[in-house]
Structure 1
Amino acid sequence: MRLAFTQEADFRQRRDFGQKFSATFDFIGAHWRGLGQALLYLVLPAAILQGIVTGLVQNQILSKVVQGSGTGTNRLRQMAMVTEMYQSPFYWANIVVSGIFIMLLVLTVYAYVKCLLRPMPSSEPISVRQVWEVVKQEFIGSYLSYFGLLFLVGIGFVFLAIPGFYLSVAFSLFYITKVVEGTGFGETCSRCLRLVRGKWWSTFGLMFLMTMMLGIALGVFGGVLSSIVYFLAGSFGLVHTSEAGSSTGLFTVIISALTGLLNMFIYPPLLLALAFQYFNLVERRDGTGLHQLVGQIGQAPAPVQNAALRPDEEGEY
């Protein structure tokens, strides 16, 4: 039986590995319209802007490669390109805009989930205004946390890479934890480490398979979009012109903008899968959902779960 995900009890459940996947796509099937509307209003402008800025950076690098070909040694050319890239305003603008895009995407998905954590079932749809209120409240702290997490994971990779790899998986639950529990940076980091203790491989396996699936989808759709844009550009004579550099730059910017738009719809399933992993781990550790069901006895029928059909053990995953 598919859940409608209209109340908190639908989220706070123990789920095995396969059930997290099914819950992710059941959620998308139930809420694609409301979540998609929130993404279009709140994330679309940042997605297009981030794609354009990324395309400008790539175009600048390509132009330097063309200009520097045949002059000096490879090492000197590479050093000159790196120096000019760091001096470019587009490079630093890309870092800022990419962080804004990532935060808006992540917070919009998790704000939508938070708005659905209602004590009783409700058919009332989640509005963009409700989502925006949560995003607005969490944005500054989450944006600063983005760079804090990059610093911590980077430090971890310095020490034989193993700590960084561990932290990158553990902190994948950072933003759903922060949005739902309303904790600060340090407390959220500690909470993530406690939640994944003993369940690190489960979290890693979920991330790996979902990322692989989304990577294939992104490659396929990205290739189709690139082919369509290249065909249209060739039809209008934008590729084979005397100003090849400018036409190539325009083509790069368009492809980057479309890729940013595609990312906006590709990555929410990964974020939702991590959200269900978070609720699964919280339920296993704290039993929050069970406590809520006990408190609702006499108020509403509690859902019956068959332990034989919903195993608690995940094995290695």
Structure 2
Amino acid sequence: MNYQNQKINFYQKRTSGENISATFDFLKGNWRPILRLCLYILLPFSIIQGVVMNNVTSAAVDAAVHPPLTFTSLEGISPSVLINYILMAIFYMVGQSVLTAIVYTVMQKYHNSEKLEKYPLSDIKDDFISFIKQCFILMFYIMIISAGYFFVVGSLAYLFPLLLIAIIPGTIFLIIPLTLIFPAYIFGEGIGANKALKQAFRLGVSTWGSLFLLIIVLGIISGIIRTVTSLPWSIVLVTKSVLGSLNTHVAVSNSVLMDFGMYILATIEVFGTYLAGIFIFTGAAFHYFSALEAKDSVSVNDDIDNFEQL
């Protein structure tokens, strides 16, 4: 692994721009282990997810081009579409959990290493497995609290439509600090999901502006990567749909070659989406470290503890 000449100090007060720079510096020096883990674990996962995504989009396009004329025909396609949507949701949860575990495992190893040295991936296996379990737990926790939140605000919006004026910007305001829950939970040394949520909002609300700016900048970069990797698949999908809707005798739209090409491009699109998420997870972690240092002076407390042990 090629490290930088000087290690990045995680627990250091930084501005939003410095956190963005730290994100790029870290990824520049640690992209190899992150990419290798993504190739070993997420690429095979993306191949399977690409098949499901093609099924979902094909069913959606067919329904748009040839809408069912009766309730009977609608009932005939609904179970298949529903199953594929459920599978997509499951794949998304699992994939995002694995990606988070990959990024934060490498960050943990980097932070705990005393020297800028190379290491085999086998050295981080235990941490990686532990982080995957934690990410799965946290993902379900987020689903539960999100479902509860949207049920409450949805009910209020139904009863009092004018509340939408406050609910929409309020929801956006709350989502920004929520991005810190994963680093708070993973690097919080077993603080628990509830405390991680409180920690995320304690640090995220007080630094909302800089966190919002970081997410916007890294989100734009992630969006560019997603666009580049998804554009070929989108073009082929539209081309196949148009040719199919024209009812021509051209066999291209239904050819095995085009279907195979779509699966390959769908895999690239899914894998590219995961790679794009690396920037957000890494940036959120550096913002968490910075905000925690600013609030609690973690590095000073660690120095005091280390001094007392001498």
- Is the Cα contact below 8 Å between 2:12 and 2:293 reproduced in 1? yes
Report the counterpart of residue 84 of structure 1 in structure 2.
Answer: 78
Report the residue type matching 2:109 in the other structure: C
Report the residue type matching 1:128 in the other structure: L
Report the residue type matching 1:188 in the other structure: A
Distance 1:167 1:82, change over 3 A: farther
Report the counterpart of residue 195 of structure 1 in structure 2.
Answer: 203
Report the residue type matching 2:34 in the other structure: L
Q: Which runs of 5+ in 2 are unaligned?
A: 154-166, 240-247
Report the counterpart of residue 39 of structure 2 in structure 1.
Answer: 40
Report the residue type matching 2:11 in the other structure: R
Distance 1:245 1:100, change over 3 A: same
Query: 1:210-259 deviations in whole A, cap 9, x for unaligned?
Result: 1122212321343357669999xxxxxxx984373466655543332110
1:266 aligns with 2:265: no
Partner Cα separation in structure 2 for residue 240 and residue 252 of structure 1 = 20
Distance 1:154 1:252, change over 3 A: farther
Report the residue type matching 2:130 in the other structure: Q
- Is the Cα contact below 8 Å between 1:211 and 1:270 reproduced in 2? yes
**Aligned-residue offset at 1:294:** 5.4
- Is the Cα contact below 8 Å between 1:54 and 1:256 reproduced in 2? yes
Query: 1:153-191 deviations in whole A, cap 9, x for unaligned?
Result: 344455223443233212211111111113321121111
Report the counterpart of residue 117 of structure 2 in structure 1.
Answer: 124
5 Å matches for 1:26-37? 26-37=25-36
Partner Cα separation in structure 1 for residue 203 and residue 146 of structure 2 = 18
Report the counterpart of residue 183 of structure 2 in structure 1.
Answer: 176
Partner Cα separation in structure 1 for residue 233 and residue 253 of structure 2 = 21
Q: Of the candidates 236, 247, 251, which is equivalent to residue 242 of structure 1?
A: 251
5 Å matches for 1:96-245? 96-118=90-112, 121-157=114-150, 159=153, 160-181=167-188, 182-223=190-231, 241-242=250-251, 244-245=253-254
Report the residue type matching 2:26 in the other structure: F
Over aligned residues, Cα RMSD in angstroms?
Answer: 3.5
Report the counterpart of residue 309 of structure 1 in structure 2.
Answer: none
Distance 1:129 1:210, change over 3 A: same
Query: 1:99-142 deviations in whole A, cap 9, x for unaligned?
Result: 11111011110111112222x63133343233332232233342
- Is the Cα contact below 8 Å between 1:64 and 1:81 reproduced in 2? no
Partner Cα separation in structure 1 for residue 171 and residue 147 of structure 2 = 6
Report the residue type matching 2:62 in the other structure: S
Partner Cα separation in structure 2 for residue 194 and residue 178 of structure 1 = 13
- Is the Cα contact below 8 Å between 1:50 and 1:101 reproduced in 2? no
Report the counterpart of residue 17 of structure 2 in structure 1.
Answer: 18
1:255 aligns with 2:265: yes
Partner Cα separation in structure 1 for residue 116 and residue 28 of structure 2 = 15
How many residue pairs get matched? 283
Q: Which runs of 5+ in 1 are unaligned?
A: 232-238, 298-317
Distance 1:58 1:246, change over 3 A: farther
**Aligned-residue offset at 1:36:** 1.6
Report the counterpart of residue 60 of structure 1 in structure 2.
Answer: 59
Distance 1:94 1:229, change over 3 A: closer
The structure in which a higher percent of residues are helix is 2
Partner Cα separation in structure 2 for residue 194 and residue 241 of structure 1 = 60
Of all paired residues, the percent bearing the same amino acid is 19
- Is the Cα contact below 8 Å between 2:15 and 2:210 reproduced in 1? no
